[in-house]
Amino acid sequence: MANGANRVDLDGKPIKPITICMIGAGGFIGSHLCEKLMTETPHKVLALDVYNDKIKHLLEPDTVEWSGRIQFHRINIKHDSRLEGLIKMADLVINLAAICTPADYNTRPLDTIYSNFIDALPVVKYCSENNKRLIHFSTCEVYGKTIGSFLPKDHPLREDPAFYVLKEDISPCIFGSIEKQRWSYACAKQLIERLVYAEGAENGLEFTIVRPFNWIGPRMDFIPGIDGPSEGVPRVLACFSNNLLRREPLKLVDGGESQRTFIYIKDAIEAVLLMIENPERANGHIFNVGNPNNEVTVRQLAEMMTEVYAKVSGEGAIESPTVDVSSKEFYGEGYDDSDKRIPDMTIINRQLGWNPKTSLWDLLESTLTYQHKTYAEAVKKATSKPVAS
C-alpha cells in the first residue's frame, strides 16, 4: 500500500499519522493536497469548505481504501461555531481559504479584505490558544512590486537579480497607492502574515507560511459559464484556457508585458507535504514555492498556450490568436500590477531540500489536456447557436 507504515522524515525519524484540519479543502490546491494525503500517507483529513465538487472523487464511501480517513464538513468559516471544535480535533491546521482572483481585488475590495484578513483571524486565534500547529497559505503578491521596477526603463541594474529576485527574509513589500485597489488583497495577506508571525514571537504559535507563485494544473479556477459565473474573470491561465476553448483571441492586458513564473501543482504539493511531515525544519519559516526556471511574459505564455492547445486539441490556431486590451477596460478603474515575480529558492532548498521539476511546456500540456477533455464538449454545446425549427 502506498501509505505504508515505514515512512520517515528528512531526518530519518518515523512519521506518525496525524489529523489535519484543512480549511478550503475543496479548492484547487486543497483538492490536490487531499489526494496526495489519501494516496501516499496515513494521515487523516477533516476537510472544511463550502463546496466539495473538486474532492467528490475522494469522498465516495466504501469504494476506496482511505474511506474514514477523510471527512467533509460543509462550513463557511465566516460564521460557524463548529470551527474551533474541529481545530481542537486536529494536530495541524492548514488554512487555504481566500478570495484570490485579481478581477475581484478591484471590484470587490471589501470582500477581498474580509476574506483574507478578518475571516482568517479566528483560525489563527484558535490555533494559538489550543497549541495547534498552523500552515498558513499566503501569496507571492505580498512582495508587491520589485525594487527594480522603480528604476528607469533602460537602467542596467534592472537586469541585476538583487533588484528583482524575491527573498522571504530580505525583500520589502512594496504596494501601489491606496486608490489602486488591486493591492487590497496583497495588503490583507501581508497583515495576516504579520499577525501569524507575531503570534509565533509572543505566544509561541508553531507556524509555517507558504507563498505560492502561480501554481498551475487540473481543477484550477473555473471556466466562465460552464462551472463558474459567465461574467466571472478567473486568473490568467483559466482565462486563456477559456479563450482557447471558445476559439476566441487571448486578451493581453496592457500588452502582456508582465513577467511571471509558473509551477506545476504536483511539484508544489510535494513541497507542502515536506512541510507537513518535517515540522522541526518548517516551523517559524516563510517559504516561496515557485519555479524560477519557468519565467515568461504573459504574451509569451499566450503564444505557448496557443501552440500547446493546437497540439492537444488537434484544432489549428485561429487567425489572430491574441488581442491587446487596456487594464482599465479589462479590470476596471484602480488596477495596478507587479512587473516580475521570481522566487528565491534558497530557504526552501536549505530547509526541505526541495526543487521543482516540471518544465513550463510539460505543465501546460498536462493542464490543457485536462481542460480540453473536461470542457471542450460543454463549451461547444454552450456556444452552438440554437437552430430555428
Distance between CA atoms of residues 73 and 85, nearest Å: 12
DSSP label of 276: H
Maximum Cα–Cα distance across the chain: 72
331 is catalytic: no
166 pairs with which residues across the strands? Answer: 343
The beta-carbon contacts of 349-355 under 8 Å, at least 24 apart in sequence, are 351/278, 351/281, 351/282, 351/285, 351/287, 352/10, 352/271, 352/274, 352/275, 352/278, 352/281, 352/282, 352/287, 353/10, 353/274, 354/270, 354/271, 354/274
Collapsed DSSP state (helix, strand, coil) of residue 13 = coil
- The set of residues, in sequence order, having a beta carbon less than 8 Å from that of 215 and lying 6+ positions away, is 28, 29, 263, 264, 265, 268, 289
Whole-number Cα distances in Å, 333 to 103, 119, 122, 141, 290: 11, 26, 32, 19, 30
- The CB density around residue 285, as the number of other CB atoms within 10 Å, is 18
Q: Which three cell numbers stand for residue 63?
A: 469504494
108 CB-contact burial (10 Å; exposed 0-12 / middle 13-18 / buried 19+): middle
Q: Which three cell numbers stand for residue 127?
A: 490555533
Distance between CA atoms of residues 293 and 312, nearest Å: 24
Distance between CA atoms of residues 144 and 124, nearest Å: 24
Looking at 105, 126, 164, 185, which residue is catalytic? Answer: 185
DSSP label of 224: B
For 234, how many CA atoms within 13 A lie in the half-sphere containing its CB? 22
Catalytic residues: 185
